[in-house]
Amino acid sequence: MSEDALLAPGRTIAPGYEVVAHLRRGRDLDVYDAWSYERDCGCVVKALRPERRGHRGARRRLRDEGRLLAQIAHPHIVKAYELIERPDPVVVLETLDGETLERMIERRERRLGLVDIAYLGIHLCSAMHFLHGRGYLHLDLKPSNVISDYGQAKVIDLSIARAPGCGRRGIGTAQYMAPEQVRGARLGEATDVWGIGVVLFEAATGRRPWPHGLKADLNGGGVDARPSLRSLRRVPAGFARLVEGCLELDPGSRPTVREVSDRLEAFAA
């Protein structure tokens, strides 16, 4: 599709919102930096790509994300200002001044310190504990969906968040999916614990535990062993065991969100 289909700066993207710049394009969505005349401030607007406006699934996912974010308020989850449902769904979000964890990992010459990683994990646990309490799973925790905003980790992109239960095979991002996501098995709070573990592993080492995801390994008959964090970076054995415990293939063998948070508190201290 031509870049000409993108809204140019100065165009109105929704009543009261003017495009400042295009930020990124996904499979279904365009994300814009925009100006809110009512609030007299900048914001982020998620809108359907022009050719996806008639796609029922894409419309539903964007509406569902907007409705969910409008119901919740948490210091470690991006805040939604507004959901505009007609003529096409548009979600208006707060502007975050930080950078994604993915970008931070890429640009830094040295890895994040253990205390910083511990606080990152604590913030993610706090967000997931709250989200789970509201009856939802995130299901797509990864460094590009975490923004560091003045030392505070904030989770973004709740587009596939849903209630626990049997999942559709392959829902999520291939390189970060838990085994139960790959198989289309039952999804629960342990699925987001896997996501926390993957994020902490990559933050600590600069590498994903399974660079290409689990799909090929599982289809080939199973995974022999989870990756060793200490083979990539010298960290306390207890920290490595905690992160690797989040990556147990059996969801029932993973620690709970609360247990992960409590153990990370000791490293943060």
Statement to judge: residues 146 and 232 lie in one domain:
yes
pLDDT the model gives residue 219: 54
Statement to judge: residues 84 and 108 lie in one domain:
no
> Is the overall model pTM greater than 0.75, yes or no?
yes
Statement to judge: residues 109 and 235 lie in one domain:
yes
CA dist 80 and 94 (Å) reads 6
Domain end: 93, 125, 158, which one?
Answer: 93
Over residues 169-207, the pLDDT tens digits come to 768 888 899 999 998 899 999 999 999 999 999 999 999
Catalytic status, residue 140 = yes
Statement to judge: residues 122 and 52 lie in one domain:
no
- Measuring CA to CA, how many Å separate 245 from each of 98, 143, 208, 233, 250? 30, 19, 15, 17, 10
pLDDT the model gives residue 149: 81
Q: State both tokens at 157.
A: 């992109």
Statement to judge: residues 77 and 105 lie in one domain:
no
- The end-to-end CA distance of the chain, in Å, is 51
pLDDT the model gives residue 268: 86
Statement to judge: residues 175 and 229 lie in one domain:
yes
CA dist 138 and 229 (Å) reads 24
Q: What is the DSSP code (8-state) at residue 234?
A: -
Domain end: 54, 72, 93, which one?
Answer: 93
Statement to judge: residues 153 and 205 lie in one domain:
yes
Is-contact 94 155, C-beta < 8 A?
Answer: no
CA dist 245 and 251 (Å) reads 10
Identify the band that residue 73 occupies on the pLDDT scale cut at 50, 70 and 90: very high
Domain end: 93, 114, 147, which one?
Answer: 93
pLDDT the model gives residue 151: 84
Phi, psi of 30 (to 5 degrees): -110, 140
Whether the predicted pLDDT of 101 surpasses 90: yes
Whether the predicted pLDDT of 225 surpasses 80: no
Q: How far is CA 104 from the centre of its chain?
A: 15
Strand order in the sheet with 12-14: 12-14, 17-25, 29-36, 41-48, 90-93, 80-84
- Rounded to an integer, the average pLDDT of 148-159 is 90
Mean pLDDT over each residue of the chain, to the nearest integer: 90
pLDDT the model gives residue 1: 41
User: Which domain CATH number covers 132?
Assistant: 1.10.510.10
Statement to judge: residues 87 and 147 lie in one domain:
no
In the set 140, 192, 224, 262, the catalytic residue is 140
**Structural domain harbouring 66:** 3-93
Statement to judge: residues 54 and 133 lie in one domain:
no
User: Which domain CATH number covers 70?
Assistant: 3.30.200.20
Identify the band that residue 161 occupies on the pLDDT scale cut at 50, 70 and 90: very high
The number of folded domains in the chain is 2
pLDDT the model gives residue 24: 87
Output 26 or 41, whichever has higher pLDDT: 41
Statement to judge: residues 21 and 47 lie in one domain:
yes
Statement to judge: residues 57 and 139 lie in one domain:
no
Statement to judge: residues 129 and 242 lie in one domain:
yes
Over residues 30-51, the pLDDT tens digits come to 999 999 999 999 999 999 999 8
Give the long-range contacts of residues 22-30, CB within 8 A, separation 24 or more. 25/49, 27/52, 28/52, 28/55, 28/58, 28/61, 28/62, 29/58, 29/62, 29/159, 30/6
Q: Is 163 helix (H, G, I), strand (E, B) or coil?
A: coil
